Chain A
Amino acid sequence: MRLEKCWFCSSTVYPGHGIQFVRNDAKIFHFCRSKCHKNFKMKRNPRKVKWTKAYSRLHGKDMTQDSTFEFERKRNRPERYDRNLAENTLKAIKKIDKIRSDRASDHIKNKSFSRLKTGKVQRQKEARKQLELGIHLVKAPLALAQDSSLCLPKIKVNVSQAQTEENQPMEE
């Protein structure tokens, strides 16, 4: 018994589900359900179909590089049954799975271009910090020093009698 990955959507195919298609060049395609099978017959490229894992990995919406992926690889050598090994493997699978899904959800939350609500606060904080550090790219430092109204409100300016007259409207 082997859990395969659907060729189209990359979900796991459990025993009793799906269809295996063998092409004449002996390449085998596994499909989890007829939706994927029909899309394949229509010659659709999974990398262009939005709901597949292939699309989301290609467009950076999902985590692609992580050390946890090294554990799950196709091995064709049958292992001699060892009870301890089997027990440890099962425990490890659980742990690795949890770590991987935590990292994947972190990746989704903190994406800089994410339209998700979560992570918005963090992204705004990052944007504000970047603006502070990089304000010299927007406006020359000399001009900033002369015209205090161009600075961010966070930077405190000593309001004295002489300086209030200098508060001119922003040059643009």
Chain B
Amino acid sequence: MRTVLKVVDNSGAKKVMCIQALKGKKGARLGDTIIASVKEAMPNGKVKKGKVVYGVVVRAAMQRGRCDGSEVRFDDNAVVLVDKQGQPIGTRVFGPVPHELRQKKHVKILTLAEHIA
């Protein structure tokens, strides 16, 4: 709630603010889907300011445990905008993404990513 996340695809938005975490009582973590409101957008993009969108958290500054016992954390909080079915709106993804997305079935984002952490 109210967390401002960076948008790392080319859908047109720059910053979104989380308004609801779809799963989990304590909030969304790395790999979860959120509902967000676009706060800052590029002038001619697919999404405009004020639109309510879905997003997948691809980078989180909070560490998330992996099944081998290690923990990963990234440098910032970043999200990739998706539609209701989970398909990304943009066509490119910037920066590293975690391979936790594979388990969450966000394969399309993984294929677009330039580096998988």
Interface residues of A (CB under 8 A from B): 1, 13, 15-24, 26, 28
Contacts and interface: CB of A to CB of B under 8 A. Distances in A.
A16 B71 CA distance: 8
13 contacts: A16-B68, A18-B71, A19-B63, A21-B74, A22-B59, A22-B72, A22-B73, A24-B75, A24-B76, A24-B96, A26-B114, A26-B115, A26-B117
B43 interface: no
B103 interface: no
A20 B75 CA distance: 11
Interface of B: 59, 63, 68-76, 95-96, 98, 114-115, 117
Contacts, number: 48
Nearest to B63: A19
A131 B70 CA distance: 57
Nearest to A21: B73
B95 A20 contact: no
Contacts of B71: 18-20
Given A15-B68, A19-B63, A26 B73 contact: no
Contacts of A22: 59, 72-75, 96, 98, 117
Nearest to A13: B70
A25 to B, nearest CB: 8
Contacts of B114: 26
A13 B98 CA distance: 20
B69 A16 contact: yes
Given A24-B74, A24-B95, A26-B96, A17 B69 contact: yes
Contacts of A19: 63, 70-73
Contacts of B96: 22, 24, 26
Nearest to B96: A26
Contacts of B117: 20, 22, 26, 28
A16 B70 CA distance: 5
Contacts of A26: 95-96, 114-115, 117
A18 B63 CA distance: 11
B88 to A, nearest CB: 19
